[in-house]
Amino acid sequence: SITEETVELLEPYLDMEDYNLETAKKVCGNVAGLCSWTQAMAYFYGINKEVLPLKANLALQEGRLAAAQMELNSAQVQLDEKQTELDEVQAMYDAAVKEKQALLDDAEACRRKMNNATALIEGLGGEKLRWTASSKNFQNQIINLVGNVLLATGFLSYSGPFNQEYRNLLLQLWKKEMNNSKIPYSKNLNLTGMLVDNATVGEWNLQGLPNDDLSIQNGIIVTKASRYPLLIDPQGQGKIWIKNKEKNNGLQVNS
């Protein structure tokens, strides 16, 4: 209930030098406390005059804070909902990206397979003529197989004792008889190539067998004929070859 007017009326008394507790005790005794009370009330009024607007502002700001807090809570709820939706969408996006990458990898693998298949088809197309010729050649070999085998067995059985010239003569006579009997055979038959491969011939050469046709034919007769071969070997080349060839097989030589 203290007003500003009351405080203004009280100020001249408060400014007096003798308006204090010590002087009041001398004059009034136990009632001197009223002097301090009036000073305290005046001081309280000045402080309270500043505090009341602050309290009002505090209440206003607390109300605003509460409203802002409610808005914040509502916004937080919406944010949580949107974050949940975002997480779901992000998961869908990640799955879509993963599926896309898998499709790209599959497409790249298919593209590589297509390129390889195209290259293979093109390569096979280039081989068609060779395969056709080879197939025809194989068919001819099948037809001529009987005659070729007959010539090979005749060579192994009967040409061993003779020189190169007489061996060729025997082959020509046999071919003439086969023509008369209409037995098919390969016109360009190579008996050496039919009876032995190049790798074996190379191994024989390393073992000391000469590389001429007659020596190779002799090597074929020695290794493939069913009879024991008789070697007329004035230069000793056949002897050296047989020793080297059978060295690892425990060959025993009688001088």
- pLDDT of the residue at 87: 94
Please state, in angstroms and rounded to a whole number, the distance separating the CA atoms of residues 247 and 249.
5
- Asked if 237 and 208 count as a contact pair (C-beta separation under 8 A), the reply is yes
Distances (CA, A) of 245 to 43, 205, 219: 135, 10, 11
For residue 62, give the DSSP letter. Answer: H
- pLDDT of the residue at 73: 94
Average the pLDDT over 110-126 and give the result: 85
Q: What is the pLDDT of residues 45-104, one digit of tens each?
A: 888 888 888 888 888 999 999 999 999 999 999 999 999 999 999 999 999 999 999 999
Q: What is the pLDDT of residues 6-23, one digit of tens each?
A: 888 888 888 888 888 788
- pLDDT of the residue at 99: 94
- Asked if 151 and 190 count as a contact pair (C-beta separation under 8 A), the reply is no
- Residue 210, pLDDT > 80, answer yes
pTM to 2 decimal places: 0.47
Check whether domain 139-243 has CATH 3.40.630.30, yes or no: no
Averaged pLDDT score across all residues of the chain: 87
How big is the CA angle at 64 (ends 58 and 70), to the nearest 5 degrees? 135
Of residues 30 and 187, more confidence is placed in: 187
Longest dimension (CA), the chain: 176
**Domain residue extents for the chain:** 139-243
